[in-house]
Amino acid sequence: MCELLAMSANVPTDIVFSFTGLVERGGVTGPHVDGWGITFYEGKGSRTFKDAAPSSQSHIAKLIKSYPIKSEVVISHIRQANRGCVALENTHPFSRELWGRYWTYAHNGQLSDYMEKFATKRFQPVGSTDSEMAFCWILEQVVQQFGDIPPVDMQPVFEFIAQLADDVRQLGVFNLIISDGDFLMCFCSNNLSYITRCAPFGKAKLIDTDVVIDFDTETTPNDVVSVIATRPLTNNEDWYIMQPSEWKLFRLGEIIAEGCATKLSPSECQL
């Protein structure tokens, strides 16, 4: 499996604190040594740092920890390979352009019997992971549903993606984070949590390494920052543990829509 990390904020915010906890899971406190990646959006632009080396040993991860890049949307992933070998082309996050926006995606989980379902034409996988195939398939469905011009209201697009994610979930485990650089959606298959931080800010202590931050000294009273992670990253804050098939749509740090996309069993979804 893998570990996911994402952030949505209403002001450009650095994710160094959370990333510092995450990279420990890439070889120190966790077994996810098969590469890592992080995408930062800055306006409509984005940049992705990737490495097939373990995050805990990566020169580039060291740079990210020491050089705060401020961003309103971030998606990160550390990998423990199951489908697809250890290689740069199999390293998340994956990115494609659609509607003049860069869409970025990362997946935690494993799927089975997906080859036929995920056959695509316009969006083709470059690597050999189930994850990238699912991403291409999702974008292909989005274009088929909404056409070549994006709708003015993007919320239905993400609701549609949540339904698709629940469909994919029937093939295995499919915890998903996806963004167009403005909206950030997460879908829980079995393992996803988040926290929304706003004033009054307090101190937070990482679980995976001995680092404490006082957000009060790092923020202004108007800041709103949500962090999503496979497992909570701090041990003195209340993280919300998501339920299977639950999805949350964030924009500028806040949840703007949420729901339960289950087709499996309504009793699974306990919002």
Q: Could you list the residues that contact a copy of itself (CB under 8 A)?
A: 42-52, 59-60, 63, 67, 87-91, 96-102, 121-127, 148
The one-letter code for the residue type at 271 is L
Which of residues 3 and 132 has its CB atom nearest to a copy of itself in the complex? 132
φ, ψ of residue 140 to 5 degrees: the values are -60, -40
Q: Is there a catalytic annotation at residue 2?
A: yes
* 77 Rama sector, left if φ>0, alpha if ψ -120 to 50, beta otherwise: beta
d(CA 177, CA 175): 7
Which of residues 98 and 192 has its CB atom nearest to a copy of itself in the complex? 98
Which of residues 33 and 261 has its CB atom nearest to a copy of itself in the complex? 33
Nearest distance from residue 137's CB to a copy of itself, in Å? 14
Nearest distance from residue 19's CB to a copy of itself, in Å? 16
d(CA 117, CA 125): 14
CB atoms within 10 A of CB 223: 17
Which of residues 55 and 193 has its CB atom nearest to a copy of itself in the complex? 55
The one-letter code for the residue type at 197 is R
Which of residues 103 and 194 has its CB atom nearest to a copy of itself in the complex? 103
Nearest distance from residue 74's CB to a copy of itself, in Å? 14
Nearest distance from residue 231's CB to a copy of itself, in Å? 27
Which of residues 45 and 200 has its CB atom nearest to a copy of itself in the complex? 45
Nearest distance from residue 21's CB to a copy of itself, in Å? 22
Nearest distance from residue 260's CB to a copy of itself, in Å? 32
Q: Which of 2, 136, 186, 188 is catalytic?
A: 2
Would you please indicate which residues are annotated as catalytic (active-site) residues?
2
